[in-house]
Amino acid sequence: MTQTVQDSAKKRVMIKTFGCQMNAYDSQRMTEIFESLGYESTAEMGQADVILLNTCHIREKAAEKVYSELGRIKLIQDARRASGRDTIIGVAGCVAQAEGGEIFKRAKMVDMVFGPQTYHRLPQFLAEVKRRREADITGPGRGVLDVDFPEEYKFDNLPKAQAAGVSAFVSIQEGCDKFCHFCVVPYTRGAEYSRTVAEVLDETKTLLDQGVKEITLLGQNVNAYHGATKDGEWSLGRLCYALAELEGLERIRYTTSHPRDVDQDLINAHRDLPQLMPYLHLPIQSGSDRMLKAMNRRHTAAEYMVLIEAFRKARPDMAFSSDFIVGYPGETDEDHQASLQLIRDVHYAQAYSFKYSPRPGTPAANLECKLPEEVKDQRLYEIQALLKEQQIAFNESCVGKTMPVLFEKPGRHQGQVVGRSPYLQAVHFFGDLEQIGQIHDVKIQGATGNSLGGEVVG
Does the footprint of ligand 5AD cover residue 396 (CB under 6 A)? no
Under DSSP, the state recorded for 38 is: T
Compute the distance between CA of residue 258 and CA of residue 387 in angstroms, rounded to an integer: 20
Does the footprint of ligand SF4 cover residue 144 (CB under 6 A)? no
Q: In the stretch 272-291, what mask flags binding to ligand 5AD with x, by CB under 6 A?
A: -----------x-x------
User: Residue 26, Cβ neighbours under 10 Å: how many?
Assistant: 26
Compute the distance between CA of residue 456 and CA of residue 436 in angstroms, rounded to an integer: 13
Does the footprint of ligand 5AD cover residue 323 (CB under 6 A)? yes
Does the footprint of ligand 5AD cover residue 58 (CB under 6 A)? yes
Q: In the stretch 179-198, what mask flags binding to ligand SF4 with x, by CB under 6 A?
A: xx--x-xx------------
User: Taking the complex as a whole, how short is the minimal distance between the CB of residue 284 and ligand 5AD, in angstroms?
Assistant: 9
Compute the distance between CA of residue 216 and CA of residue 318 in angstroms, rounded to an integer: 17
Does the footprint of ligand 5AD cover residue 261 (CB under 6 A)? no
Question: Looking only at residues 246 through 275 of this chain, which bind ligand SF4 when binding is defined by CB under 6 A?
Answer: 258
Compute the distance between CA of residue 205 and CA of residue 217 in angstroms, rounded to an integer: 13
Nearer to ligand 5AD, 59 or 80 (CB): 59
Does the footprint of ligand 5AD cover residue 357 (CB under 6 A)? yes
Does the footprint of ligand 5AD cover residue 59 (CB under 6 A)? yes
Long-range contacts of 38-45 (CB under 8 A, 24+ apart): 38/10, 38/11, 39/10, 39/11, 39/12, 39/13, 40/10, 40/11, 40/12, 40/13, 41/12, 41/13, 41/14, 41/15, 42/12, 42/13, 42/14, 43/14, 44/14, 45/14, 45/16, 45/73, 45/76
Residues that bind ligand 5AD (rule: CB under 6 A) add up to a total of 12
Q: Which residue stretch of 110-118, 333-341, 356-364, 396-404 sits at the interface with ligand 5AD (rule: CB under 6 A)?
A: 356-364
Q: Which helix (H) or strand (E) holds 337?
A: helix 333-346
Taking CB under 6 A as the criterion, the residue among 104, 182, 234, 394 binding ligand 5AD is 182
Does the footprint of ligand 5AD cover residue 327 (CB under 6 A)? no
Interface residues with ligand 5AD (CB under 6 A)? 58-59, 182-183, 283, 285, 323, 325, 354, 356-357, 359
Interface residues with ligand SF4 (CB under 6 A)? 176, 178-180, 183, 185-186, 220-221, 258
